[in-house]
Amino acid sequence: MGEMASGGQSAEQAPPSFVELATRILESSGARMTVVRRILCEVLQNAEHSMSSDQLLTEAKKRDPLISMSSVYRTLKFLSDAELLRQIDGLDGERRFEKADLKTAASHIVCRDCGIVVSLSDPCLAIRETPAIRAEGFHRERISLRVEAKCTELAETGDCKRRNRAK
Amino acid sequence: MGEMASGGQSAEQAPPSFVELATRILESSGARMTVVRRILCEVLQNAEHSMSSDQLLTEAKKRDPLISMSSVYRTLKFLSDAELLRQIDGLDGERRFEKADLKTAASHIVCRDCGIVVSLSDPCLAIRETPAIRAEGFHRERISLRVEAKCTELAETGDCKRRNRAK
DNA sequence: ATAACTGCAAAAGTTTTGCTCGAGG
DNA sequence: CCTCGAGCAAAACTTTTGCAGTTAT
């Protein structure tokens, strides 16, 4: 769960972790990777799903109860500007965040029944769309697919496993 | 620009206009197509691009200066719930709206240079993604692609025609 | 010593709601 | 008439900002 391997500094196969990426960006702009920022980055790094600003604050407070919403938003803004975060729109315009790592494309299903957001993998999405985007006179920088859907399991059985996990 | 043709009431090829659709939905739920609502619907119907709540109010006020923001939001909510509107996320989380008509899929390019939103056509998008969505246990209801991009023209010539039109 | 960071509180936006009056079927 | 809709103003949120004390270099 913590850092592992990556003993030397020569290999080029070591995938930099989210916290490492954030640290680089921060330091390259004269900023510091402080305790508060590290906690927020680590929460985002370890999050299995996208989070709202509220959830992020709640999680961070478990590690340091004094962390404030200002820091959450300041950090989210910073990481977003650095393209390290992706924003996802949940139900009712709810904004959620998740680490973007290096992918340029991402797809998500937003469940209309319970509001959870599920990631969907489609490596070809960006490539397929490139010609049409170019034809419009644009150069693609980031691409995301959003699917609103109903839960099959809920419709058939009246209940849904996913529903029983925190939003 | 108004209604044309559709003389009889027998043909099944008459595509109901946005205002007509809205009227049906309204009346079927015991509500009324009032003057205010009609103005708002007509503005949305005639809009060439997606609009913010603010723009919608501004346009509507040109026809009736007394229209209030409450009515804008109430109408937007109503039409959204009825699936007659599509929400698009502009830059910086700005919410924009456009009529959805009957399409289940829509694609938009958001320009990072000037913030405009351009529609993109890809009729196969929904079909291509269906298997993956089903595999996750969901039944697709609506699908939208969002592309953030840079303007090629601006990069090459230092200016952009689109930029000079109102956001 | 200097520059950056944080929490707090206030501000700024945006969207929703309660209320009362007016309009419409 | 009696219901539904509209505007106004206030409330409710979410996100941003100014400030003053604190921390790290």
Q: What is the pLDDT of residues A83-110, one digit of tens each?
A: 999 999 999 889 999 999 767 789 999 9
User: How far are the Cα atoms of A73, A105, B103, B166 from residue B144, in angstroms, in the given order?
Assistant: 27, 13, 10, 24
Q: Residue range B14-41: average pLDDT? A: 93
- Residues in chain B within 8 Å Cβ distance of A112: 141
User: Residue ranges of chain A with pLDDT lower than 50?
Assistant: 1-8, 166-167
Of chain B, the percentage scoring pLDDT greater than 70 comes to 89
CB contact under 8 A, B138 and A122: no
- Looking at chain A, which residue has its C-alpha nearest residue B83? A148
DSSP string, A16-51: PPHHHHHHHHHHHTT----HHHHHHHHHHHH-SS-B
By the CB < 8 Å criterion, does A32 face chain B?
no
| Rg of chain B on CA atoms, in Å | 18
Of chain B, the percentage scoring pLDDT greater than 90 comes to 72
Tell me which protein residue sits closest to nucleotide C6, measuring alpha carbon to C1'. A71
Task: Name which residue leads in pLDDT, B3 or B97.
Answer: B97
Distance of residue A5 Cα from the nearest chain B Cα, in angstroms: 33
Q: Residue range B73-92: average pLDDT? A: 94
By the CB < 8 Å criterion, does A31 face chain B?
no
Size of interface A-B (CB pairs under 8 A): 110
Q: Which residue has the tokens 């650095």?
A: A82
Task: Name which residue leads in pLDDT, A101 or B89.
Answer: B89
B33 nearest nt, CA–C1': D5
Q: Residue range B19-25: average pLDDT? A: 94
By the CB < 8 Å criterion, does B114 face chain A?
no
By the CB < 8 Å criterion, does B127 face chain A?
no
DSSP label at residue B155: H
